[in-house]
């Protein structure tokens, strides 16, 4: 017999502007995706925020915990990239191109901010919560102490135990990525040099950026 799944009372992040804190950065990696009818190899990350003032009981018998929202972004800080708009909103300043190119995106983990959340309907007809914009806290505001531990997960500091606990759909994306393959199938120095040379000849442009933000 298969044990029944434990019921979840999870509710989407509500519409509106909320105090939030980014507590998780996951590098998903590069997979083939479709944008405007064209297939492209797109490198993505997943950011997760907690909303400390929007608590809910996720499972019967548990204490209330902050509602969370996760969203995927193309891993690019190009001028028109959604990730760059989010980062600039969180830090409260516009970055020059040379500053954006050298900005450590995972440095936003732990930062409090304000998130404007909207609800949209996906292509499959499912309603979802989505981060529309971000901004710094107002001067009179303070963010509650972080509830969830901060976590930065990349292929350079891969945490197998943490990875094993991720949702199946996310693990599938990661294990099918180029970065996961490279991690599990190390290249020789000669092969790596050839690949580096190829990437230098093909820089990421705004045309390579997907406009889709896929939460959860």
Q: What is the pLDDT of residues 172-199, one digit of tens each?
A: 999 999 999 999 988 777 777 776 776 6
29: number of Cβ within 10 Å: 23
Q: Model confidence over 27-75: pLDDT tens digits?
A: 999 999 877 778 899 999 999 999 999 998 888 888 999 999 999 999 9
Looking at the predicted structure, is the pLDDT value of residue 7 above 60? no
In the block, which residue shows the tokens 């193309």?
Answer: 74
Instruction: Dig out the tokens for 151 from the structure.
Output: 């976590």
Q: Do 113 and 20 meet the contact criterion of CB atoms below 8 Å apart? A: yes
pLDDT exceeds 70 at position 210? no
The half-sphere exposure of 140 on its side-chain side, counting CA atoms within 13 A, is 0
Backbone φ and ψ of 34, nearest 5°: -110, 130
Decide: 130 and 213 in contact? Cβ < 8 Å: yes
Give the mean model confidence (pLDDT) for residues 133-143: 93
What average pLDDT does the structure give for the chain? 87
pLDDT at residue 115 above 70?
yes
The pLDDT > 90 percentage for the chain reads 68
Task: Look up residue 211 and give its two tokens.
Answer: 């406009």
Cα–Cα distance between 150 and 134 in angstroms, integer?
19
Pairing of strands 127-135, 151-153: unpaired
pTM, entire model: 0.81
- Residue 9: the pLDDT is 63
Q: Check whether 211 has a pLDDT greater than 50.
A: no
At 10 the pLDDT is 72
């Amino acid at each position: 017999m298969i044990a029944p799944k434990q019921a979840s009372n999870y509710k989407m992040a509500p519409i509106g502007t909320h105090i939030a804190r980014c507590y998780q950065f996951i590098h998903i990696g590069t997979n083939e995706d479709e944008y405007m009818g064209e297939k492209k190899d797109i490198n993505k990350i997943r950011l997760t925020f907690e909303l400390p003032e929007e608590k809910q009981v996720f499972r019967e018998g548990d204490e209330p915990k902050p509602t969370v929202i996760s969203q995927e972004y193309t891993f690019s800080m190009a001028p028109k990239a959604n990730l760059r708009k989010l980062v600039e909103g969180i830090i409260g300043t516009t970055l020059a191109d040379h500053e954006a190119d050298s900005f450590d995106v995972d440095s936003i983990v732990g930062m409090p901010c304000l998130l404007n959340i909207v609800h949209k309907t996906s292509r499959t007809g499912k309603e979802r919560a989505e981060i529309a914009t971000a901004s710094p806290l107002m001067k009179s505001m303070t963010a509650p102490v972080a509830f969830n531990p901060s976590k930065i997960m990349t292929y350079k500091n891969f945490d197998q135990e943490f990875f094993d606990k991720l949702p199946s759909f996310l693990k599938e994306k990661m294990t099918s990525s180029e970065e996961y393959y490279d991690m599990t199938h190390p290249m020789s120095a000669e092969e790596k040099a050839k690949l580096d040379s190829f990437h230098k000849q093909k820089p990421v442009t705004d045309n390579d950026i997907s406009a889709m933000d896929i939460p959860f």
